[in-house]
Structure 1
Amino acid sequence: MSVQRESPPRRPAPPPPELADDEIDLGRYWASVAARWWLPLLGLVVGAIIGYLIAVGGGSTYQAQAIVSLGTPLAVGGGILPTVQTNGTAVKQIVQAESTKQRVAHDAGLRPGQMAVSTTPAGGATAATKGAPNTLFAITVKAPSPRKAALAANEFARIVVQTISDQYVNPKIATFNAQVKADELELAQLDKRLAEEQGLLGSLSGAEKLAAIGIIGIAEQRRSVVTDDLLSIRPLLNQARTVESGRVLTRAVGTKTTARSKRNSAVVGAFLGLLLGIAAALLWEPLAGRFARRPAL
């Protein structure tokens, strides 16, 4: 009966030379950084200080913000009517249009590249939770001077309100105004005619008097119809002006703001300083050895 010998366990294969070299290099690099830990720390602190100082001394710009309300367009039978006023992207498209920027820059005495404009919803989450469209927007302009920043922001707000209101509400208000003027003119004419006919009643004969009374009755009926029409139009006109029409709620005033964020500048400076400190720690030995091998003059 033959006895089978167990084969000895296999030894793990040695790592490839390239991997071993990489581990040795990484270990050497880490040892170099750890031995001169004060260099990355110094770079971190100095970089943060330099970044902060650059932010503080980098100059200032001015910001102005205007708040606009687009209004709420209402249908004839009630309810909100979907129009450009209920489209939140319309404000951004109008403001960011190149033609609008050039027009505003010219009116404010700026070059288009000297100002930055942005739009943000100003209504919060209240309107969204109730299912109603947000109609409040903030238009913010940054420019080199407070006066020009305010002029530009107010002009942007005026253009937004004018452009959006011209699509639906302004024609509606113009139609109501025309109807009110027509009714008021007709009422004035009817009142004049009634006064004339009533003044002639005493001097008229029987047949003429009956005809004048008939004319007065017809005029009074017409006056009643026109008055009812006027009473129904005036509330609609007032509603269009106060509820449906867009307006500038708050005009812009220029305020000073820093051109750079102090915190962000300090963080970026600290990161760059840390990288330079690590590089200095890694290059310390090679440079020190090179200078040490140089013959003395």
Structure 2
Amino acid sequence: MMCGKVIFFSCLVGFLAVFLSLDFFIPYREAAAAKLPLKLKSYFDDFVNLCSSHLEFLKYLTFSPKLFSKTEVKRFTGVDGDSVYLALLGRVYDVTRGRKHYGPDGGYHGFAGQDGTRAFVTGDFTPDGLIEDVSDLQLEDYLGLQGWQQFYEKDYKYVGKLVGHFYDKDGNPTEAMNQYLIKLAEAKSEKKKDQDDARRFPPCNSEWRQDEGTRFWCSTLSGGVERDWVGVPRQYFQPGRTYPRCACVRTTGPPSGQDDLALHDNRGDLDNPKLKLYDGCEPTAESCHVP
């Protein structure tokens, strides 16, 4: 008997959740709430929120991503007031509420009705640039694509998958998607290495003046890395980079990463072979001018 009551209550709440959450009912709901005593109004608001949460849960249980063909997605370009869809990494989003950006008169209309993933990070909005292939991008570009995907997941409605480059006819990831995920993981790993490297060798402050050239200097906050030492400017030949950057280098204590080293010369990282003194700069100077 109790089980039956629970099922009945669940169905009742489900029905009310759908009814109270419908857009056309909002004015009536607000009018009814305005006539209630303040204490009852708070209970009513709580009940409406409960219904809305129940509806979202029902949507979660029943939502099944639609599989779109490229021909189907091409229909959603916003022409004649129609809905606007775009795809990113094979995931299709309804961006109709952003019509001013993605509609026929919007600056990003080129993304409408197709998957132009590559253009999100290259800025090439020509037909040759609005493509799905991302196999030869720079590592940081994969992080950029992840950022765009997070944006659309948060701000727009996900409606399904695009069959083709990233997903097969059954909605399963293709080899192209697997390769993207591998590249993304590699990019995240490199980013972490760069962050660790920046903590070890913080970037210098810099400024340029026509009559003096470039000045590099160090402080306890240079490079956005807060620390209890200042350091001296050095050219840092970072592995995997073509050109050196200016880094602030510790001048005392053991070498970085060897804090437990009992015997050392108390010169910090000054003897690191990847570091070079700027021409004309004093070895212990906290500021250097470079013509």
TM-score, normalisation: structure 2 = 0.18
TM-score, normalisation: structure 1 = 0.17
Greater helix content:
1
Q: Which has the higher Rg, Structure 1 or Structure 2?
A: 1
